[in-house]
């Protein structure tokens, strides 16, 4: 009962054109993040290239690039005439990919905080506070 079931909530893509991150990377990160969070499951169908391009008001080639990279990684399966689905195979990230992703997130949040007038020290202090609060919740 995967992708064809209409009773499931549809995964929503959102772009942040101010982030400085390429749109195709945002799509890739949202799909992999959706899988990690459980919002997307193996067998779930993604929008067609044309539909996602229309929904996000972007060039279809951008969606093709993201979907193609996700297919190469084994995250997506595209079945001609049927659609694009979350792969049933388990995704494993290597250490280099994890570090690349972390560096990307840190760089993005540091840039956004800086443009909003916050210092790196303020950001680090707040991250420590959040970390401490999360530790207390787990106890």
Expressed as residue numbers, the domain containing 79 is 23-86
Q: Give residue 137's pLDDT.
A: 64
Q: With the CA atoms of 64, 82, 90 and 75 taken in that order, what torsion angle do they form, in degrees rounded to the nearest 10?
A: 0
Rounded CA separation 89/79 (Å)? 15
Task: Please report the pLDDT score of residue 5 as a whole number.
Answer: 44
Sort 52 into a burial class: Cβ within 10 Å, 0-12 / 13-18 / 19+.
buried
pTM given for the model = 0.62
Instruction: Please report whether residue 7 resides in a domain.
Output: no
CATH number for the domain spanning 40: value is 1.10.10.10
Shared domain for 74 and 104, answered yes or no, is: no
Task: Provide the pLDDT for residue 138.
Answer: 59
* Torsion angle in degrees (nearest 10) through CA of 29, 72, 5, 36: -40
Q: In this predicted structure, what is the pLDDT of residue 94?
A: 66
- Does residue 8 belong to any structural domain of this protein? no
> Is residue 2 in a domain?
no
What is the pLDDT tens value at each position of the chain, 139 positions in all? Answer: 444 444 455 789 999 988 888 999 999 999 988 888 889 999 999 999 999 999 999 999 999 999 999 999 899 999 988 999 999 876 555 667 777 778 888 888 888 888 889 999 999 999 888 888 766 765 6
**6 within a domain of the structure (yes/no):** no
For residue 10, what pLDDT is reported?
A: 72
Residue 18 lies in a domain: no
Q: Which of 67, 86, 105 is the C-terminal boundary of a domain?
A: 86
Specify if 69 maps to a domain: yes
Asked whether residue 115 falls in the same domain as residue 73, the answer is no
């Amino acid at each position: 009962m995967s992708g064809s079931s209409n009773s499931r909530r549809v995964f929503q893509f959102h772009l942040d054109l101010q982030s400085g991150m390429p749109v195709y990377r945002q799509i890739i990160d949202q799909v992999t993040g959706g899988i990690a969070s459980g919002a997307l499951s193996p067998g779930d169908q993604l929008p067609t290239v044309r539909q996602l391009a229309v929904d996000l008001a972007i060039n279809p080639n951008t969606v093709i690039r993201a979907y193609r990279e996700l297919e190469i990684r084994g995250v997506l399966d595209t079945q001609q005439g049927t659609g694009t689905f979350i792969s049933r195979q388990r995704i494993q990230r290597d250490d280099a990919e994890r570090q690349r992703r972390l560096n990307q997130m840190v760089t993005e949040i540091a840039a956004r905080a800086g443009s909003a007038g916050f210092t790196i020290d303020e950001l680090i202090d707040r991250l420590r506070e959040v970390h401490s609060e999360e530790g207390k919740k787990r106890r």
